[in-house]
């Protein structure tokens, strides 16, 4: 490890990922300072992340590609050619980490799976994320975020109540969580290798990423033997803890436990000692009745007015922001969670920031996402290829440079 930008400065990652879960992992590693070499498809038309698979563009560049691929250096590589596989192995030999999120077995058939990588570099950390993991009866099954959310139980507790159609959260929760879990696993494996010299496989899945979101709900199920039901914006263990109607929208509140009395004094003093609501257990039993009363009481003021009063009383609350409103939120801006980058093609574009702050080794987005072929000669030159050899590899269709 070198000293410099980000705590993973000096770590080299060979990135065979695509879509969301894998790129989230390598983005996290890149934001922490790792040199991530993103392997892209050859020819350009075959690389869906760069072209027509994405309907959202900023000045001709895929918006979703840019937001999860900043800080990386791209290398187009045709792994169906012997030359492409040779380049991949040379990068693996010089690298520290391989990350991939293909269906299990795909990279094995191409000659760059874990066993192949381990022969090339015994100390390599090979990190993989898939729908269901590398073992078990579903190990070979393809899977996406929607299936993982359904099978992990998330969709069974999401929505407004029993008897309603299944609802998934509006974000790709298991994709992003799996990417974060894999990045955590890579960091732990790097520590193990630092101590022992041993590389290893790190394996997680969208299914497991969904399961770990159910800690509260699993605790309830383990203790009662029943299946938790959808609660809308509510909480399975505490009330009130949900979104409530105001005169101009909704507000989220948490007013259980010691906060109940103070909350009642602000909103409805008669509720504090109401026998239906004077303990958390009773409030949970009568939560729908409580919700109706609070919606009526709190609909007399705006969200902003209630937030001022609740904050003054030391009680948590917040608005329901749209995504653009979140982008403008002063706290998000103060924490550098929305920043701009100067992309060589798209121009100045906004991206989301890095959510972990380091006092001594700050991370975060410093380079915009790669342009197809932008770093080909730089990466292959560092890997030991001469200019003539790079020209030959491009002519053979094993790689490509800038368009």
Task: Give me the active site residues, please.
Answer: 175
Full DSSP string of 333-361: HHTTSEEEEEETTTEEEEEE--S---SSS
Helix boundaries (H) for 286-351: 287-298, 303-312, 323-328, 330-334
Residues pairing with 352 in the sheet: 338
Strands 200-205 and 125-130: parallel
Q: What whole-number distance in Å separates Cα of residue 145 and Cα of residue 206?
A: 7
- CA gap 327, 139 in Å, rounded: 38
Residue keyed to tokens 């001022």: 308
The tokens describing 201, both together, are 């496989």
- Distance of alpha carbon 276 from alpha carbon 261, whole angstroms: 14
Collect all residues with Cβ–Cβ distance below 8 Å to 160 and sequence separation of at least 6: 167, 230, 232
Helices 260-267 + 287-298 axis angle, to 10: 40
Spatial separation of the C-alpha atoms in residues 152 and 283, rounded to whole Å: 28
Helices (H), 112-252: 114-120, 145-151, 173-196, 206-211, 215-224
Pair of tokens at residue 313: 């009383």
For the chain, the maximum distance between any two Cα atoms, rounded to a whole number of angstroms, is 84
Q: What share of the chain is helix, strand, coil (3-state, %, to 5)?
A: 40, 15, 40
| Cβ contacts of 93 within 8 Å, gap of 6 or more | 120, 121
Q: Are strands 317-319 and 249-254 parallel, antiparallel or unpaired?
A: antiparallel
Beta bridge partners of 126: 98, 201
Torsion of CA 136, 140, 145, 151, to 10 degrees: -40
| CA proximity to 208, closest of 108, 98, 134, 127 | 134
In the numeric block, the tokens 């007015």 are attached to 305
């Amino acid at each position: 490890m070198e000293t410099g930008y980000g705590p993973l400065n000096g770590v080299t990652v060979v990135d065979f990922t695509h879509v969301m879960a894998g790129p989230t992992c390598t983005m996290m590693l890149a934001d922490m300072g790792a040199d991530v070499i993103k392997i892209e498809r050859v020819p350009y038309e075959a690389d869906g992340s760069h072209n027509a698979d994405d309907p959202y563009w900023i000045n001709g560049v895929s918006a979703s590609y840019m937001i999860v691929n900043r800080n990386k250096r791209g290398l187009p590589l045709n792994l169906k050619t012997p030359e492409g596989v040779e380049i991949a192995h040379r990068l693996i030999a010089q690298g520290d980490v391989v990350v991939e999120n293909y269906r299990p077995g795909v990279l094995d058939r191409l000659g760059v799976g874990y066993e192949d990588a381990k022969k090339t570099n015994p100390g390599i950390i090979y990190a993989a994320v898939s729908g269901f993991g590398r073992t078990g009866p579903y190990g070979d099954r393809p899977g996406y975020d929607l299936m993982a959310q359904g099978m992990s139980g998330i969709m069974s507790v999401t929505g407004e109540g029993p008897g309603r159609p299944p609802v998934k959260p509006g974000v790709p929760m298991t994709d992003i969580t799996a990417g974060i879990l894999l990045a955590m696993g890579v960091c732990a494996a790097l520590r193990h290798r630092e101590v022992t010299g041993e590389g290893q496989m790190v394996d997680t899945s969208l299914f497991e990423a969904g399961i770990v979101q159910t800690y509260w709900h699993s605790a309830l199920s383990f203790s009662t033997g029943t299946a938790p039901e959808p609660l809308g914006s509510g909480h399975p263990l505490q009330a009130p803890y949900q979104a409530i109607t105001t005169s101009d929208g909704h507000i989220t509140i948490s007013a259980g436990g010691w906060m109940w009395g103070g909350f009642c004094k602000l909103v409805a003093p008669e509720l504090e000692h109401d026998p239906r609501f004077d303990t958390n257990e009773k409030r949970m039993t009568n939560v729908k009745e409580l919700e109706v009363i609070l919606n009526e009481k709190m609909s007399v003021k705006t969200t902003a007015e209630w937030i001022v009063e609740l904050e003054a009383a030391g009680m948590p609350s917040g608005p329901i922001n749209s995504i653009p409103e979140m982008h403008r939120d002063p706290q998000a801006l103060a924490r550098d969670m929305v920043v701009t980058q100067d992309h060589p093609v798209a121009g100045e574009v906004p991206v989301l920031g890095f959510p972990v702050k380091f006092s001594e080794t700050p991370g975060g987005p410093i380079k915009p996402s790669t342009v197809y072929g932008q770093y080909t000669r730089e990466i292959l030159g560092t890997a030991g290829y001469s200019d003539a050899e790079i020209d030959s590899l491009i002519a053979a269709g094993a790689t490509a440079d800038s368009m």
